[in-house]
Amino acid sequence: MSSAGGTRAVIAALAANLGIAVIKFIAFGITGSSSMLAEGVHSVVDSGNQGLLLVGGQRSKREATPEHPFGYGRDRFVYGFLVSLMLFSAGGLFALYEGIEKIRHPHPLDSPAIAIGVLVVALGLESFSLRTAVHESRGLKGDESWVAFIRHAKIPELPVVLLEDVAALIGLAFALVGISLTIITDNSVWDGVGTVAIGALLIMVAIVLVIETKSLLLGEAASPADVAAIAEQLVGGGIERVIHLRTMHLGPEEVLVAAKVAMPAGASLRDVAAAIDAAEVRVRAAVPSARVIYLEPDLDRGVSPAP
């Protein structure tokens, strides 16, 4: 459900951004507004980003190979990281440059009413994209706040689309304010100010995404709830306690579990094998994402090794 939900959110965002980009560039050609140009580039970058997320999703489905025995699930993290860099460089820095140039060399807008009409239409399309991303995220978010969900989510597509859509809506508001003030004051510097605000916003969003996707690339543990469930299911059926437990996401929906477990001193090899097999079944039933499990039997010496 989560993978399909992420794909639906990405496709909805891609469709919205492609349509928005076209009308923004048409409006820029008519009005000469730097805010409109920055927003057009923003929509093109977002469309490219969603394309990258879809490519990452497809590449992550490749079968494991001897060279990559744990599969390619982390491709989704890699492409999420590339999206963050694209948003920073091609989106934020371009908008900053264009806004500063407009402030230094202001020129009047042509047909500003067209620009305002385009921004209103774009607000509607972006709202549709955000609504889709929110709908697909609710089941995974649970009782967490949206900020906590973006920080803790292991599926990169949903946080990326959520933040992109929120940034797009705020950016459209900046552009609308900048163009409106330009009309009211007859001073096109405000159009440049709105463009600079869009650039600063995109850079801030990109930094947040870089930090979160970098953490996923380094290898995050399973959620505390999943770790607790795994530890609980490991005990029993001949396993006395968990000496230590390590987990790591091999992909958004695949977790590696490695644990040293204490067994009775007199257990036979057959008993040990049966206990480990049963524990793996229990863990996978409780946490389906725990697909790769390595358990090391040991004697209970009463202490746990240092992490």
CATH code, domain carrying 237: 3.30.70.1350
- What tokens appear for 111 in the block? 């047909």
- How many degrees, rounded to 5, is the angle at CA 277 between CA 272 and CA 279? 95
Mean predicted confidence (pLDDT) in 75-101: 84
What is the structure's pLDDT at 288? 94
Helices (H), the chain: 2-31, 34-59, 75-86, 94-104, 112-141, 146-152, 157-185, 189-218, 224-234, 269-286
Identify the domain boundary among 194, 218, 242: 218
Residue the block writes with tokens 């900046």:
174
pLDDT > 50? residue 306: no
Number of domains in the chain: 2
What pTM was estimated for this model as a whole? 0.76
Per-residue pLDDT of 290-305, as tens digits, reads: 999 999 999 877 655 5
Would 25 be classed as within a structural domain?
A: yes
Domain hosting residue 286, numbered range: 224-299
Q: What is the mean pLDDT of the chain?
A: 86
Residues 235 and 181 in one domain: no
Half-sphere exposure in the Cβ direction for 178 (13 Å, CA): 32
Neighbours of 65 (CB within 10 A): 10
pLDDT > 80? residue 248: yes
Beta bridge partners of 255: 249, 290
Per-residue pLDDT of 124-137, as tens digits, reads: 888 888 888 888 88
> Rounded to an integer, what distance in angstroms lies between the CA atom of residue 124 and that of residue 165?
11
Phi and psi, residue 265, nearest 5°: -60, -35
Would 306 be classed as within a structural domain?
A: no
More confident residue, 153 or 90: 153
Would 305 be classed as within a structural domain?
A: no
Nearest residue to 165 (alpha-carbon basis) of 123, 195, 199: 123
Mean predicted confidence (pLDDT) in 239-254: 92
